[in-house]
Chain A
Amino acid sequence: QKEVEQNSGPLSVPEGAIASLNCTYSDRGSQSFFWYRQYSGKSPELIMSIYSNGDKEDGRFTAQLNKASQYVSLLIRDSQPSDSATYLCAVNKSNRGSTLGRLYFGRGTQLTVWP
């Protein structure tokens, strides 16, 4: 079983719609959860972090965390063509005996927002 699983898509939504991206993780000891956006040929860019159960909103982005279900999601409201990218879910897993964690990535979901 992979550490982090994402529906790889591709996901295609019209401009102005809500895009919903999902991620599950295998290790209940995971502590921190991140969403990165990666444009083709570029490096990952951090867009959201979440550490506690519930929702966290930042502008058009909302991250949701449910530790009981080991599930993280990202909602993008009022999607724009410039949001077209690959979205990577990342999970911080503690190394045993240390607070330093491995940061594992899902395979990413490719999002296309069409005008």
Chain B
Amino acid sequence: DTEVTQTPKHLVMGMTNKKSLKCEQHMGHRAMYWYKQKAKKPPELMFVYSYEKLSINESVPSRFSPECPNSSLLNLHLHALQPEDSALYLCASRLGGGRGTEAFFGQGTRLTVV
């Protein structure tokens, strides 16, 4: 089983709203990732959690706040977003970060900020 589940699949939010994206995996993976993907662009790394600790923040604006409550769950809290933040948000997980570990993606959340 290589399933990573993301909810919701679609989200429309206003610029003053607060919302959260959720990601779940039960593969025992210890590294979890958030990516942002705009149309016709590659996925852009946002955050990496390793063993439930934030290990990489790619200078993401503070209106995006990640959280890893346990080894199976990853959240992305959204607040005061801008229309340009509209994108496909992808969660991925890997067994670890080193050699020989493949990353598997969830189906993504299509976010529209109005």
A residues near B, CB below 8 A?
31-32, 34, 36, 42-46, 49, 51, 88, 90, 92, 94-95, 98-108
Contacts and interface: CB of A to CB of B under 8 A. Distances in A.
Contacts of A94: 97-98
Nearest to A2: B42
B64 interface: no
Contacts, number: 72
The size bracket of the interface on B is: 20 to 34
19 contacts: A32-B98, A32-B100, A34-B102, A46-B102, A51-B99, A88-B43, A90-B103, A92-B101, A95-B55, A95-B56, A98-B55, A100-B48, A100-B50, A100-B98, A101-B97, A103-B92, A103-B94, A103-B103, A106-B42
Main secondary structure of the interface of A (DSSP, over half): strand
A38 B87 CA distance: 15
Interface of B: 31, 33, 41-43, 45, 48, 50, 55-56, 88, 90, 92, 94, 96-108
